[in-house]
Amino acid sequence: MSKRGYHHGNLRQALVEAALDLITEKGPQGFTLSEAAKEAGVTPAAVYRHFAGRDELIAEAARQGYDIFAALMEYAYNDGKPSALQAFEATGRAYLAFARKYPGHYQAMFESGLAMSAHPELATTAAKARGVMERAAVQLSQQLPPAKRPPASMFSAHIWALSHGVVELFARGSPGAKSPYPPEDLLETGIGIYLRGLGLLPPDN
């Protein structure tokens, strides 16, 4: 791994990017602030001008990850076009794409063990990302009679959990978790089964 060599740019962001490299390589608990400083090409003392400790640095990496994640989900949702169903399925595919393209952010968001209550900005940004999935769930579930309509937060949480499980087990090279099916196919069929169970898809779809 080579130093990114900070000169006169944004040191705070250089440290975040250094942390993301280290998280991708070693996991969110596998590096020190000194290593992040070395990766950014600055002294360890320089880190403390921007971050109180490693958790704060990881929290900023996670916050930026949720920001990217929310934007990708919003783009995939595309205001519910061309249909509520297609838009909803697109958000699931966007989840897989994000995990593949931004592994450092993904781990900072979901594997760092940070308490959201200790990082208000992180909690706010994470809520924005969840909000996209909830809007998609609301739009799709409007097709159900009110008595059979699950709460949007529950609906979206189920799909989030399904998406996250497919990513963790089959899209990140987890040992002993090989599947004869591509992760995208597993997610699409899983969402289909869930939606059929709610009555949003015909039984033979």
User: In angstroms, rounded to a whole number, what is the distance separating the alpha carbons of residues 84 and 77?
Assistant: 9
Mean pLDDT, residues 67-89: 89
- Return the percentage of the chain with pLDDT > 70, whole number: 90
Domain regions of the chain by residue span: 1-51, 58-198
CATH topology of domain 58-198: Tetracycline Repressor; domain 2 (1.10.357)
User: Given this model, what pLDDT does residue 2 score?
Assistant: 43
**pLDDT tens track for 21-76:** 999 999 998 999 899 999 999 888 888 888 988 999 999 999 999 999 999 999 99
Class of the CATH domain delimited by 1-51? mainly alpha
pLDDT at residue 7 greater than cutoff 70: no
Q: Could you tell me if 18 and 4 are in contact, meaning their C-beta atoms sit under 8 angstroms apart? A: yes
Mean pLDDT, residues 65-92: 89
**pLDDT tens track for 154-180:** 988 998 899 999 888 887 765 446 777
Mean pLDDT, residues 99-114: 91
